[in-house]
Structure 1
Amino acid sequence: MQFVAIPRRLPRTAVQSNNLISGGQEITTVVYGSKKVAKGGDFGSFVCFLLGQRHLEGGGYFDQSDLDSITVDQALRKAISYKIWTATLGYLNIVTKLYSIEARRMWGERDLKVKHKDGLAVYNHTLSTTLVEYASAVYMSDLTELFSWTCQRCDDLTKGFEVIELVVDVQHCLQGFVGVAKDLNAIVIAFRGTQERSIQNWVEDLYWKQLDLNYPGMPDAMVHHGFYFAYHNTTIRPCVVNAVKRAKQLYGDIDIMVTGHSMGGAMAAFCGLDLTVNHEAGNVKVVTFGQPRIGNAAFVSYYSKLVPDTIRVTNEHDIVAHLPPFYSHFAQKTYHHFPREVWIYHVGFGSLIYTVEKVCDGSGEDPDCSRSVVGNSISDHLEYYGVRLGALGSDACRIVMDSRLAAYSTQDQAGNLILSRNPSSSVVNMKSEPSAPVNSL
C-alpha cells in the first residue's frame, strides 16, 4: 500500500496509465494526456476528481468545470468516504506531510505506512518521526537528565521512555543508550553521531575513507575500519548487548529498534547486523538518519538479506548521505548504500510548498532519490522531520553529571562511563537542577 502526494496539476507528459487501490482492490484506471488537469483548481479538486473517475480511453481529457472550488479538506473527506488508502501515479511514489497532517486530523492518530512487494522494509512515517527524537536526544551531554529522561529533547513522542543503560566512550567521543519504550512495545537503541564542532573536518575526511576491512564471515564484503571499530572495538558494543539481554529477560522477545544519526547511523547499522547474526535476534528494525555509506555492494547484499527491516532516511541535499562517494561502474570496489532509502525533499506548486517523503527502490542507490541531486548541505544534515540533530552549542564531547547518579555509574581505567539500572526498577525520579555538576569531563 503506497501513499502518494498528488499535485494540483498533472505533469505535462505522454499518456500514462495509473491505478487507484481501495482495500486491496483496483477500483479505477485513469488514463491522462498532456493537457493540464486543474484549470483553476487546487490540490483538493485534483484529488477529488481522480477519486471519482472511471476508465478514460485513449488519453481523453478531464472535464472538471464543477470541481474547481473543492478544497483539500473536502477532497480528503471524499477520499475517506471511498476508503482510499493507495494511489500510484507514475514516478510520484511519495508521502507528503500535507496529506498526513490532514489525514491525522480527520482520522485521529494512526500509523501511516507504505508497504512493498520486494520483501524489504515497510516505511512507517509515524515510527520514523518518533525514532528521530531518540536520535536527537542521544546527543545530550547532561547525563543526569538523559539517564532520567528529563532532558529538553526527552519529551513529546518519546515521553515515558526508560533508559536501562547509558554508555559514554570518552576516548572516541561516542555515546549510546538502550532502553524500553512501552508505547512501542520495543527495546530502543540509539547512537550519537559526529559532533557539530568537528563535522566539517569529518565530512572532508569522508571523501577519502577506503574500503579496508573484510567484514567477518562475509566473503568479498568490505567496510571501512573506522565505521566498524566505532561499534565493535569500543566499550559501546558489550554494554549494548548486555543491556538488550537484560531487557529481554524482563520483557520477553519484544522488538528491537536501532537508530542513529550521521556516524550514529553507521553504528546503528552495524549494531542491527550484530544482534541479528551473533545474538540470534530475529525482530530487529533499523532506522537511520543522514547515514554515510559504510560498505561495498557485496556487504550491502549480505546486510539486506540479514536485516531487511531497515529504513535509511535522507534529507534534501544532506552531504553526509552522499559520502563516501558511490561509483556505479565500480560497485564492488567502491561504497554502496543499502536499502531502503526514504528521501525527504520539498516541491512547490504555486504558492504552496509540500514536504515529500519519497520511498525509493530496493537497490539502495535509486537514481531518482537523493542521488538525483548534489549532496552539498551540512544544514540539511542537521535537521530531519523538523527535529534538530547534533549537540547543543559547545556541548560536543562533553559529559555533565551529578552525585545522584553515583549509585548507577561505573568508570573504567580509560575514563569511559557506564550508567546502568535493572530494567525492572522504576524510573529514577531526578529533576534537573541549575547547580554546578559534580563531574564534568
Structure 2
Amino acid sequence: MRSIAVLLALIQTLVNASCNPKGSCLSCVSAGCRWCVNTNRCVTKFAAPFKCFGEERADEWLKCPISMKQGYRYSDEFARTKMHPLSVAAYSDNPQSCLNNILKGAEVKFKITGQCHGRKPENCSGFAAISNTEKAIILSFRGSKGISQLTSQAIETAFGKSFVDLDGAGRVNSYFYRTFIYIWNAGMKESLRSMLQEHPDYEIWVTGHSLGGAMASIASTVIIRDRMHTTDKLKLVTFGQPRTGDRNYAVAHNSMVCA
C-alpha cells in the first residue's frame, strides 16, 4: 500500500514538472495541463478542480484568454449607450427615427426587409447607416420576429446539420448564412463599399440581436476576410448571439476580428 502511495506521489511530481506555473496559457495547455483563467496559473489536470476552484479553466488553446491591444477591450458603456440601441433599431420599420435619438446626425443609407428564406410570414431585416459625428459606419441586423421564424430557427440550428463553407473561415450554420447573404447581396455590401470609398478612415460598427447577432458575426468575418476594412477599425458587439459556426469558424473569427 505504501509503495502505491509513493508511486502516485512520484507520478504527480513528474506531471507537475511539466506544468510551469509561470508559463503562458498556450504553453500550459500544450503540455496537457490546465490554465486557471482568473489567477493565471498552470496546474495539472488532476489538481485543476482544487487549485482552480470556482474559476474558469482552459484545457485547450481555443479557450485561452485573448490578449487585447490597448484601446480595444470591451466597453460596457459603448455597448449600452451605442450598440444596444442600434441593435434594437433594426426591429423598427423606421430605424431613422431611432437613430435620431441615439446618434444625432446619423443617417440610414440602406434598409431592407424581405423573405430571406422564401417562406411566409418569415422575413429578415437589416440596415446600414453612417455617423459623421462618431466617424462610424453602422451595420445592424434584426433578430427573429414571430413564432414561425423563431421555431424554424430553433429547428434548423438545434437539429439541422447543414453548414456552409465560409471560404477559408470555417463553416457556419446554413440558416444563418442564407439569412445573412440575402441582406448582404441585396444592397448592404454595396452600401458599405460606397460609404467606405467616401470615408475610408471611418470605423465600422456591426451589431445585432439573436439571429441578428449571428448575421453580425458572419458580416464582421466576411469584412475582414475580403479585406474591405482593417481589424483595428472594426467593432463588433452582439446580444444573445446563438452558436453560429463550427470550431474552425470560431478560430478564424477570433484570429480575424479579435486580432
Please give the TM-score of this superposition, normalised by the length of structure 1: 0.39
Structure 2: how far apart are the matches of 1:273 and 1:119?
Answer: 17
Task: State the AA in 2 paired with 1:248.
Answer: L
Provide the residue aligned with 1:268 in structure 2: 216
The equivalent residue for 1:297 is 247
Name the structure 1 match of 2:196.
248
2:130: which partner in 1? Answer: 180
The yes-or-no answer on 1:195 pairing with 2:145 is: yes
Kindly report which structure 2 residues correspond to 1:345-360, keeping only aligned pairs within 5 A, or say none: none
Structure 1 residue 213: deviation in Å?
2.8
Question: Aligned ranges for residues 96-135 of structure 1 at < 5 Å?
Answer: 118-119=67-68, 122-129=73-80, 130-135=82-87
The within-5 A match list for 1:32-47 is none
1:138 aligns with 2:90: yes
Distance in 2, Cα, partners of 1:162 & 1:269: 23
**Cα offset for 1:180?**
0.8
> Which structure has greater helix proportion?
2
> Which runs of structure 2 are paired with 1:28-107 in the superposition (5 Å)?
none
Letter in 2 for 1:280: M
Correspondence for 1:168 = 113
Q: Which deviations, in whole Å up to 9, do the C-alpha atoms of 1:215-273 show, x marking residues without a partner?
A: 3224xx332111112112x2533511211121122223210011111111111111111
Which residue number corresponds to residue 179 of structure 2?
230
Moved more, 261-270 or 237-246: 237-246
Q: Corresponding residue for 1:437?
A: none
Tell me if the contact between 2:126 and 2:183 (Cα under 8 Å) persists in the aligned partners. no
> Which residues of structure 1 form unaligned runs of 5+?
1-89, 92-115, 310-441
CA distance in 2, matches of 1:222, 1:245: 25
Q: How does 1:11-22 map to 2 (within 5 A)?
A: none
Report the equivalent of 1:71.
none
1:24-69 alpha-carbon deviations (Å, 9 max, x no partner): xxxxxxxxxxxxxxxxxxxxxxxxxxxxxxxxxxxxxxxxxxxxxx
CA distance in 1, matches of 2:77, 2:206: 16
1:257 equivalent among 205, 208, 221: 205
Distance 1:254 1:261 in 2: 23
Alignment of 1:356-367 (within 5 A): none
Quote the RMSD (CA, aligned, Å): 2.6
CA distance in 2: counterparts of 1:117 and 1:230, whole angstroms: 29
Pairwise CA distance, 1:308 = 0.6
C-alpha spacing 1:265/1:237, structure 2 compared with 1 (3 Å)? farther
Which of 208, 217, 234 aligns to 2:168? It is 217
Q: Any conservation in 1 of the 2:171–2:245 contact (CA below 8 Å)?
A: yes
| Contact map agreement 1:260 1:288 (CA 8 A) in 2 | yes
Q: Aligned pair count?
A: 187
Q: Does 1:208 align with 2:159?
A: yes
Which segments of 5 or more consecutive residues in structure 2 lack a partner in the other structure?
Answer: 1-53, 56-64, 118-122
Partner of 1:356: none
Query: Could you tell me which of 133, 147, 158 is aligned with 2:103?
Result: 158
* Max Rg structure: 1
User: Which residue identity is paired with 1:190?
Assistant: S
Deviation at 1:202, TM superposition (A): 4.0
Question: Deviations along 1:342-364, whole A, 9 cap, x unmatched?
Answer: xxxxxxxxxxxxxxxxxxxxxxx
- Residue of structure 2 in register with 1:288 after alignment: 238
Partner SS for 2:86: helix
Q: CA deviation at 1:278?
A: 1.1
Residues 153, 175 of structure 2: 8 Å contact kept: no
